[in-house]
Amino acid sequence: MFHKLLIANRGEIAVRIERACAEMGIRSVAVYTEPDRFALHVKRADEAYFIGDDPLDGYLDAQRLVDLARETGCDALHPGYGFLAEQADFARLCAQAGIAFIGPDAEVIGRMADKSAAREILREAGIPVTPGSRAPLTSVEEALALAESLGYPVMLKANHGGGGRGLRRCDSPAQLEQAWEQVGEEAGARFASAALFLEKCLVGSQHIEVQVLADRHGSVIHLFERDCSIQRRNQKLMEIAPSPRLTPEQRAYVGQLAVRAAHLVGYENAGTVEFLVRGNEIYFMEMNTRIQVEHTVSEAVTGVDIVREQIRIAYGLKLAFRQEDIRHHGYAIEFRINAEDPKNDFLPSFGRITRYYAPGGPGVRTDTAIYTGYRLPPHFDALCLKLIVWGMTWEETLDRGVRALNDMRLQGIKTTAPLYEEILKHPDFRRGAFDTGFVLRHPELLDYSVKRNPDEVALVVAAAIAAHAGL
């Protein structure tokens, strides 16, 4: 197995990878910029190295990260998600330096990063693809003509986008004309490419994604699906595994499609194939060539440690499981506890965490890098922690989610947690009647009041002990 692994990331995903390394007997190497000097991923790693004063530049300097991995004796590098995780050049630099990249090879990353090209590869193979352009658009006039043939609403998207960034829903020609320049500028700044494409907006659809694992020996399996329909402005808020709305036939079908797609592109390692589902219509959207934030719910219902499998695959080992070995048990929900104020248009709420107490009990997991006294820096994503709950039935999982959210104490900043309590209590959500427009259709979800006991000395003491013990 690998001897030492550099984690080219930060926050909760870095801590998650460090835990997998510890269990596998691999030394973990963390990196950090000035705002992360006292971050938990730095404290927990076997080794940690400073990579610059600028909050972002160090995490985005591919050559420096690869050089550091080589200088510190690392034989593997895990990119996590975000930052450089889906940059083909980063994977290529690792290969040139003789360092194993925990992910697919550069060629596959590049092929899937081009959304139009990826859609065309699968379309030609007979996999249903969301109706839309077959190549990057060359002008707003071309976009307007295509939108007219598809019918509004349409989605204008960055050709190299991802993570819910670089896209706009357009309900009219006027909106499309306005969005053309805005999305192009955002795409150029965020993804280094202003190329755009267009696809039909399927109103009332579910956002379904399938987790796949593939080794270099030709084996590909899926770990069933996740329902990521609870969103705000195309940003995921909650994820569920498996989807409470899919029929067994649909579940088998999307799983087969995902495995087929991975085979088609010669995929290796962990990846996610994303679909839109509306009734009996199922369309491929895109493929993500990295670990995803919401991998936790797939782990909860299947018992498979996805990060461990990523590392094993990158070392050249065969998958530890066959498809027939994989079963899903119960339901799991992940809540992205973001430092945002839902009552104030989700305005970011960075600052010092004065109290943090993680919920526990059966079927409760937290993935985080925060602690009492930690100052959440404003330079990065607003994610504070991921709260994951599991139950044998849908109803038990919902009730456990309400209890765990209510048990958690996270003070000093505003978070999205109260909104999730309201969603879990909503009758439509409880009966599984939700799609990607659920939050937008229910503005009453924001009409909540936060009720907490001001006298929480015991919890504060417990949180302080838990945060600092062993650090």
Catalytic machinery residues: 290
Residue 102 neighbours by CB under 8 Å, 6+ apart: 5, 76, 77, 78, 79, 269, 310, 311, 314
Gap between the Cα atoms of 65 and 145, Å rounded: 45
Gap between the Cα atoms of 183 and 167, Å rounded: 6
Tokens 């895990």, residue? 78
Q: Phi first, then psi: what are they for 32, rounded to 5°?
A: -155, 150
Q: Which residues of 136-161 are buried (b: 16+ CB within 10 A; e: fewer)?
A: bbeebeebbebbeebeebbbbbbbbb
Residue 469: C-alpha distances to residues 11, 28, 194, 465 (Å): 19, 20, 48, 6
Gap between the Cα atoms of 273 and 56, Å rounded: 28
Sign of CA dihedral 143, 144, 148, 154: positive
Helix, strand, coil percentages (3-state) for the chain, rounded to 5, are: 40, 25, 35
Gap between the Cα atoms of 429 and 438, Å rounded: 9
